[in-house]
Amino acid sequence: MDNLILIILVIISPGVWSGDWRVTFEDECALKGTSVVIKCEYDYPVGHIVTAAGWSKALYVDGNWKLFPLSQISSPPNHFTYMGNRWSDCKLKINDVQHSDEGHYFFNFVTTLNRWRSKRSAHLSVKELTAVVKPSTVTEGDVVKLTCVSGCLTPVNIVWFRDGQRVPNPVFRAGREDAGRYYCAVQGQETATSASVALSVQYAPSKVKLSMSPSVVKGSSVTFACSSDADPPVTQSGYSLYKDGHFISSGQTHTISDIQPSHRGLYYCQAWNNISWRGIALINSTEVPLDVQYRPENISISMDPPHVVEGSSVNLSCSSAANPAADNYTWYWASVSSSSSLLQVGSGRVLSLPSVEASHSGLYLCQARNSLGQNNSTEVLLAIKEKDHGSLSLPVLAGFGVFVFVTLLLLLLFFRLKQRTSAKKKQTVYDLRLSGRGSSSSASEPSNSVYANIHAMPPSPPPVISAQDTPPHSQGKSHHQRDVPTSYEDEVTYSTVTIKARNPSLPHHTNNSRVAPDSRFKAGDNDDSVIYASLAESS
């Protein structure tokens, strides 16, 4: 029964009807690291039953080509896998193809009546993916294109990786973070990769940093060190050190062995690598302050006032240069006459002596201290002048002088004011006389004008001034040229009286009986005669 079934299977097999010994396959090209299947079909005459089938590979040994079954070739487990059957299919799968797998492969099988080996071989070519990065060196911001070249004509889907990370787009604008090693792989078989290719992205220095000790003590040493992130890296000559905007030195490091307070300031580092960033080629670090600390020095004492009189007050002030600032001041005193030791007399920046005595005179010294140490000032002599009891003090003399000056100034102003008032009164009399004469001369008829001055006299009446009292040399002058007395005048009243002459040849008289007969004026060429009379009312 079993033999009958076997006969039926042989009859219905494809090769049974052909009756020819035949093996058909094609050459294959595989990428290193991938898996490849060599397609194969075989046939045999009727009446044969396949009992065994396998593949062999031709190897060049001892100058000759020899066939070796795949089972005898050293390879990893499951590297070669027969995927055919015993009727017509003879496919061979090779996993994780390597260059050592390249060569000629033969198929052979055994039947119940004979054995057969293919007359020709199936050739397997092993190629690799080649990654191409163009350009391989770029400046930050340039465009980069990735190309993967395969030696096999069979199309495959390619994916890209950078340092193991998937790259989404084979064309991109490079940034500094895009620098690295790129390789391509077959999608789905990412173990089949190309050799990696480096992409170098050059960029200007960034993260420029200046390192140093921010606080140092005077006399010690300090080292400045510059660092940056740049491609290409900044060379030694590409670094420069600046202080407060002024160039100090070039190089990545700079050392000051004997630091002084003059070295205090703001320092920064400048880096350059011939690559610009947004048009800027020189990149600066942030400014770092250098603080130089030292104990008090240049200590001095000032005295206010500089000259001290016994009984007055004086302040002694102590000043110093220190970093940190002096926080403790101590005052010492020593006698000039004796070689006694210094005695502490106070503390604080200012030593106040409210009422100095002779015992306060001597040498004073100030000691300033901070956290780093202390220093002393030079000694200052406090000399006290004895108080002069027999003479007025300077402030009293100064006050008396001011009083005298103010008094004289007030008297001068008083006399000037009085003179100005008297001048104004004289001017008023003069103007009124001119007014009276003008009205008299403008009358339609000739007339005689009489001016009378009426005074309210004081208890002791002054002598009456009349025309006869007028000096002879002044009689020929006009009336407005006279001097009008100003003393004892409380109020002045001017009266004008016009009298027509009965006879032009007769002189005019006043009815003032107190006026002397010889006090009359003769008329000149003018038709009018003017008579001045002063009437004084006695008390």
Residue 138: Cβ-neighbour burial (10 angstroms; 0-12, 13-18, 19+)? buried
The answer to whether residue 491 scores a pLDDT higher than 70 is no
Instruction: Give the least confident one: 25-39, 330-344, 481-495.
Output: 481-495
First to last CA, the chain: 194
**Tokens matching residue 110:** 């055994």
Distance of CA 250 to the CA centre of its chain: 24
The predicted pLDDT at position 88 comes to 92
The answer to whether residue 452 scores a pLDDT higher than 50 is no
Residues ≥6 apart with Cβ < 8 Å to 459: 539
The answer to whether residue 508 scores a pLDDT higher than 80 is no
Q: For residues 531 and 466, give the distance between their C-alpha atoms in angstroms, rounded to a whole number.
A: 10
Domains defined for the chain, CATH in brackets = 2-126 (2.60.40.10), 128-195 (2.60.40.10), 203-286 (2.60.40.10), 298-385 (2.60.40.10), 446-519+528-537 (no CATH)
pLDDT interval class at 19 (50, 70, 90): low
Q: Which residue has the higher pLDDT, 150 or 478?
A: 150
Give the chain's radius of gyration (CA, Å). Answer: 68
pLDDT interval class at 465 (50, 70, 90): very low
∠ Cα 119 27 14 (to 5°) = 60
Q: For residues 441 and 510, give the distance between their C-alpha atoms in angstroms, rounded to a whole number.
A: 19
Q: For residues 183 and 149, give the distance between their C-alpha atoms in angstroms, rounded to a whole number.
A: 11
**Its pTM surpasses 0.85:** no
The answer to whether residue 441 scores a pLDDT higher than 50 is no
Section 3-31 average pLDDT: 66
Q: For residues 295 and 370, give the distance between their C-alpha atoms in angstroms, rounded to a whole number.
A: 6
User: What is the per-residue pLDDT across 309-365, written as a single tens digit (0 to 9) for each?
Assistant: 998 999 999 999 999 999 999 999 998 877 668 899 999 999 999 999 988 999 999
Section 242-270 average pLDDT: 95
* pLDDT-above-90 percentage for the chain: 57
Instruction: Give the least confident one: 5-19, 120-134, 296-310, 516-530.
Output: 516-530
The predicted pLDDT at position 434 comes to 62
Omega cis (within 30) before 463: no
Section 251-270 average pLDDT: 94
The answer to whether residue 518 scores a pLDDT higher than 60 is no
User: What is the per-residue pLDDT across 152-206, written as a single tens digit (0 to 9) for each?
Assistant: 887 889 999 999 999 999 999 999 999 999 999 999 888 889 999 999 999 999 9
* pLDDT-above-70 percentage for the chain: 73
Hey, what amino acid is at 57? Answer: K
Cα distances (Å, whole numbers) of residue 517 to 463, 510, 537: 17, 10, 20
The predicted pLDDT at position 189 comes to 86
Torsional sign, CA 244, 248, 253, 258: negative
Q: For residues 438 and 494, give the distance between their C-alpha atoms in angstroms, rounded to a whole number.
A: 14
Contact 204/175 with Cβ under 8 angstroms?
no
According to DSSP, residue 522 is labeled -
User: Which of 234-238, 357-361, 401-405 reaches the highest mean pLDDT?
Assistant: 234-238
The predicted pLDDT at position 111 comes to 95
Section 58-79 average pLDDT: 94
Q: Which residue has the higher pLDDT, 539 or 27?
A: 27
Torsional sign, CA 97, 101, 104, 105: negative
User: What is the per-residue pLDDT across 72-87, written as a single tens digit (0 to 9) for each?
Assistant: 999 999 999 999 999 9
User: What is the per-residue pLDDT across 379-398, written as a single tens digit (0 to 9) for each?
Assistant: 999 988 887 655 555 666 77
Closest CA to 272 of 253, 285, 259: 285
Residue 119: Cβ-neighbour burial (10 angstroms; 0-12, 13-18, 19+)? exposed
